[in-house]
Chain A
Amino acid sequence: MSLYPPPNESYYPLFPPGPEPTSPESIRNSPEFRSMRGAHRSFGTAATLVSVGGFLTYVLLSGFAAGLMNQPLAGHLTIGLALGLCQFLLMAVTIWLYVRHMRRRVDPVAQRLRAQLHDSRARAEAQAQAQQGRASAERRFGTW
């Protein structure tokens, strides 16, 4: 690290950014972040559509296809009641899959990126502090 850090990154336009993305912008452009965002969104959207859409379809079916829902399955258990219980099962399975998906695909990447961001922020703060320290030091000497 040089003693006098450049005021911003565009100061040396010839040097490409390092392999480690550090600022929020570079993290957003990194392929890791993009794939994580994709994994997060596609699963979230699909799972929401399945569970919420499934339930709303069930409501519509109950309203407009009452005859079908009244077909008895076993004893007094009709297709409608069974489908209602299936909604609870569907939700349980969706939640289990979601937690597993997040733990495997999203959390590790997010943790890594968070650590990088944290590092870069700490470094920037240290630099700012060093600069400030220098400035105040100069001022101190100036009064003498």
Chain B
Amino acid sequence: MVTQAAGQLVNHAASVTDRATLQLTLVLFITVVVVTLFTVLLTAPQRDEISEFYLGDRDMSPLRNGLAMCGDYLSAATLLGSTGIVALTGYDGLLYLGGTVVAWMMALLMIAEPLRNSGKFTLGDTLASRLPQGQRSVRLALALCTLAVCLLYLVAQLVGSIALLAQFIGAPSGTARAMCVVVIGTIVVVYAAIGGMPGATVIQVVKAVMLVAGVGITAVMVLHHFSWNIDRLLSSAADNSALGERYLGPGLRYGGSTTNKLDFFSLQLAIVLGLAALPHIMMRLLAPRTTRVLRGSVVWAVGLIGFVCLMAGVLGLGATAIVGREQIADVDPRGDAAVLLLGYELGGGVLVALLSSLAFITLLGVAGGLTLAAASSIAHDLYGAVIRKGKATETEEVAVARLSAAAIGVMGMLLALLSWGTSTATLAFLAFAIAASAILPTIVYSLFWQGFTARGALLSLYGGLACSVLLVVFSPIVSATSTSLYPNADFAWFPLQNPGIVSIPAGFLLGWLGSVLSKRQAPEVFEEFEVRALVGADER
């Protein structure tokens, strides 16, 4: 039956299912979008207050906050991409899922509470109160890094939506691609520009509940299929992968040469350190009104994300065990179709429709959070503090935030259409690397090191950004191999695809160097900052 269904799928021009499923998917997707859009309109900020637009409802319970964090964090890449990697490469894919959860440990244990206590609306406010001399140039640098990370990740989400569409209709024509990106992009802009943070929270919570439920139920179906025997699941996965025991051991994706292994380590480093420094996650950390609520929220978030990632592992193994590795690779060599094929085997077209509308909503949620984070950074740091030097009124600032949300959305759409062939993973991994090597050193130093100065911040922000981008430009991703952007040129002297292993230490080193080389700033500033960060002097 498996081969028959797979053969049928391949006959449908490499699409996952038939037309009825696509229609059901669209109906489900549109229903959720319409319902959430109305909720967003109802909960949208009524007055043009920046605290409401940037931080939303600050009295939410830890569970709702945790759901919103989980929604901001888990993208369609986790639902489709990671499960696909597990299905194709077994052990290495599971390792990748583990990194996604571990990334929250650094955020919870070191950064979340002092950051919330000392922060105000954006990350730029924290840096400005820590480095009052030269705060404008630091804000500018931070806004640029935020913009780079957000745009890369946003483009990854929009390109992902094209890839998802391709699962249904085969290779999409230019018009279909443009339609898909424009529709998704427009909805995202409406969420971010009209709804602000309250609107984004609505969609995040809805999405997180749907994601946890959807992934959980499908995983239960997989486990039930193997009568709750994990060993049987593992053995069928190993048998149907046509690789035998090698499937359950390391090295399928990142094995072989030392370069490959280092590349994987570099990627894990960027994920584990970078995810906690992604701007849209940072904004979520600033929102709760008390430290205690924040701690509870992050614990909920880690729990939910851990659950989803464990279940995603089960889904990936189940896809190989039930559908077979070859069939998954036939439909999509990157494995993005694994969950949908599994859904078809377990629950027919209905489950496929549910899962794919879930994937679209997930895309939408993450893209909305990213657009909002970038818009806040532009409006508050760039416009409010750098251009207007703090003289802008709240109404003005909110208007700028709405406009820049639209501008970023349009920019993301154009970039996505231009670069639709690139792998979403490459874009997302570059965003992680920039976050880990530019934003994270600055945050860690400003929270914990007295000697940190504005010059150190500038060096680590610009240096980390430049280092990660340049290393990727000179990596095999851009030139020298048959899969790169310019396969005919060869200027790839950096052997790894992920720059993290070099650029993260470089970011920390540059921050230290800049601080040591510049004049020390007055100690009172750090003393007051530290008291605020630890005591939480004002429960904002």
Binding site for B on A (CB under 8 A): 24-25, 27-28, 33, 36-37, 40-41, 44-45, 47-48, 51-52, 55-56, 58-60, 62-64, 66, 69-70, 74-78, 80-81, 84, 87-88, 91-92, 94-95, 98-99, 102, 107, 110, 113-114, 117-118
Query: How far is B262's CA from A62's CA once the two chains are assembled, in angstroms?
Result: 11
User: Per-residue 0/1 for B226-251: is the Cβ within 8 Å of any A Cβ (1 yes, 0 no)?
Assistant: 00001100110010000001001111
User: Closest approach, in angstroms, between the C-beta of B2 and any C-beta of chain A?
Assistant: 21
Find the A residue at minimum CB distance from B268: A59
Q: Give the residue of B102, B109, B238, B534 whose beta carbon is less than 8 angstroms from that of A47.
A: B109
Query: How far is B230's CA from A77's CA once the two chains are assembled, in angstroms?
Result: 9
User: Closest approach, in angstroms, between the C-beta of A69 and any C-beta of chain B?
Assistant: 6
Query: How far is B273's CA from A51's CA once the two chains are assembled, in angstroms?
Result: 12
User: Closest approach, in angstroms, between the C-beta of B311 and any C-beta of chain A?
Assistant: 12
Q: A62-B95, A75-B235 are in contact. Are A48 and B102 (CB under 8 A)?
A: no
User: Closest approach, in angstroms, between the C-beta of B391 and any C-beta of chain A?
Assistant: 25
Query: How far is B251's CA from A62's CA once the two chains are assembled, in angstroms?
Result: 8
Query: How far is B108's CA from A63's CA once the two chains are assembled, in angstroms?
Result: 28
**Complex contact A98–B95 (CB within 8 A):** no
10 extra interface residue pairs, beta carbon distance < 8 Å, beyond A24-B532, A63-B254, A76-B231: A24-B527, A52-B106, A56-B268, A59-B265, A66-B255, A69-B250, A75-B231, A88-B306, A91-B101, A114-B537
**Complex contact B98–A84 (CB within 8 A):** yes
User: Per-residue 0/1 for B195-231: is the Cβ within 8 Å of any A Cβ (1 yes, 0 no)?
Assistant: 0000000000000000000000000000000000011
Binding site for A on B (CB under 8 A): 91-92, 94-95, 98-99, 101-102, 105-106, 108-110, 230-231, 234-235, 238, 245, 248-251, 254-255, 261-262, 264-265, 268-269, 272-273, 291-292, 295, 299, 302, 306, 310, 448, 524, 527-528, 530-532, 534-537, 539
Find the B residue at minimum CB distance from A29: B527
Query: How far is B268's CA from A111's CA once the two chains are assembled, in angstroms?
Result: 38
Residues in chain A near residue B250, CB distance under 8 A: 62-63, 66, 69-70, 80
Residues in chain A near residue B95, CB distance under 8 A: 58-59, 62, 84
Query: How far is B253's CA from A88's CA once the two chains are assembled, in angstroms?
Result: 22
Question: What are 16 of the A-B contact pairs (CB < 8 Å)?
Answer: A28-B527, A37-B530, A44-B109, A48-B106, A55-B272, A56-B269, A59-B95, A70-B245, A80-B91, A81-B94, A84-B95, A94-B105, A95-B105, A95-B302, A110-B534, A118-B537
**Complex contact A77–B255 (CB within 8 A):** no
**Complex contact A110–B234 (CB within 8 A):** no
Query: How far is B195's CA from A81's CA once the two chains are assembled, in angstroms?
Result: 43
Find the A residue at minimum CB distance from B261: A63
**Complex contact B248–A98 (CB within 8 A):** no
**Complex contact A114–B536 (CB within 8 A):** yes
Q: Does more than half of chain A's interface fall in helix, strand or loop, or is it mixed?
A: helix
**Complex contact A44–B234 (CB within 8 A):** no
**Complex contact B235–A41 (CB within 8 A):** no
User: Closest approach, in angstroms, between the C-beta of B191 and any C-beta of chain A?
Assistant: 31
Query: How far is B539's CA from A63's CA once the two chains are assembled, in angstroms?
Result: 46
**Complex contact B535–A117 (CB within 8 A):** yes
Query: How far is B429's CA from A21's CA once the two chains are assembled, in angstroms?
Result: 48
Residues in chain B near residue A87, CB distance under 8 A: 98, 101-102
User: Closest approach, in angstroms, between the C-beta of A60 and any C-beta of chain B?
Assistant: 6
Q: Give the residue of B98, B249, B265, B531 whose beta carbon is less than 8 angstroms from that of A78.
A: B249
Find the A residue at minimum CB distance from B298: A95
Residues in chain A near residue B268, CB distance under 8 A: 55-56, 59
User: Closest approach, in angstroms, between the C-beta of B518 and any C-beta of chain A?
Assistant: 24
Residues in chain B near residue A45, CB distance under 8 A: 110
User: Closest approach, in angstroms, between the C-beta of A103 and any C-beta of chain B?
Assistant: 9
Q: Give the residue of A28, A66, A98 whose beta carbon is less than 8 angstroms from that of B109.
A: A98
Find the B residue at minimum CB distance from A98: B109
User: Closest approach, in angstroms, between the C-beta of B226 and any C-beta of chain A?
Assistant: 12
Residues in chain B near residue A98, CB distance under 8 A: 108-109
Find the B residue at minimum CB distance from A48: B109
Query: How far is B146's CA from A7's CA once the two chains are assembled, in angstroms?
Result: 44
Q: Which 5 A-B pairs have the closest CB atoms?
A: A63-B261, A76-B234, A75-B231, A62-B250, A51-B105
User: Closest approach, in angstroms, between the C-beta of A53 and any C-beta of chain B?
Assistant: 10
Residues in chain B near residue A74, CB distance under 8 A: 231
**Complex contact B306–A91 (CB within 8 A):** yes
**Complex contact A77–B295 (CB within 8 A):** no
User: Closest approach, in angstroms, between the C-beta of A55 and any C-beta of chain B?
Assistant: 4
User: Closest approach, in angstroms, between the C-beta of B289 and any C-beta of chain A?
Assistant: 14
Query: How far is B264's CA from A58's CA once the two chains are assembled, in angstroms?
Result: 12
Query: How far is B530's CA from A2's CA once the two chains are assembled, in angstroms?
Result: 32
Q: A56-B265, A63-B265, A107-B292 are in contact. Are A80 and B254 (CB under 8 A)?
A: no
Query: How far is B411's CA from A18's CA once the two chains are assembled, in angstroms?
Result: 59
Query: How far is B295's CA from A28's CA once the two chains are assembled, in angstroms?
Result: 24
**Complex contact B251–A66 (CB within 8 A):** yes
Q: Give the residue of A27, A99, A117 whose beta carbon is less than 8 angstroms from that of B299.
A: A99
Residues in chain B near residue A70, CB distance under 8 A: 245, 249-250
User: Closest approach, in angstroms, between the C-beta of A88 and any C-beta of chain B?
Assistant: 6
Residues in chain A near residue B245, CB distance under 8 A: 70
Query: How far is B302's CA from A47's CA once the two chains are assembled, in angstroms?
Result: 15
User: Closest approach, in angstroms, between the C-beta of A41 and any C-beta of chain B?
Assistant: 7
User: Closest approach, in angstroms, between the C-beta of B211 and any C-beta of chain A?
Assistant: 19
Residues in chain B near residue A60, CB distance under 8 A: 265
Residues in chain B near residue A80, CB distance under 8 A: 91, 249-250
Residues in chain A near residue B306, CB distance under 8 A: 88, 91-92
Q: A36-B534, A55-B102, A55-B272 are in contact. Are A64 and B108 (CB under 8 A)?
A: no
User: Closest approach, in angstroms, between the C-beta of B112 and any C-beta of chain A?
Assistant: 10
Residues in chain B near residue A95, CB distance under 8 A: 105, 108, 299, 302
Query: How far is B117's CA from A107's CA once the two chains are assembled, in angstroms?
Result: 13
Query: How far is B536's CA from A117's CA once the two chains are assembled, in angstroms?
Result: 10
Q: A70-B249, A94-B105, A107-B292 are in contact. Are A88 and B310 (CB under 8 A)?
A: yes
**Complex contact B248–A78 (CB within 8 A):** yes
Query: How far is B527's CA from A117's CA once the two chains are assembled, in angstroms?
Result: 14
**Complex contact A76–B235 (CB within 8 A):** yes
Query: How far is B346's CA from A11's CA once the two chains are assembled, in angstroms?
Result: 80
**Complex contact B531–A48 (CB within 8 A):** no
User: Closest approach, in angstroms, between the C-beta of A130 and any C-beta of chain B?
Assistant: 22
Residues in chain A near residue B238, CB distance under 8 A: 76
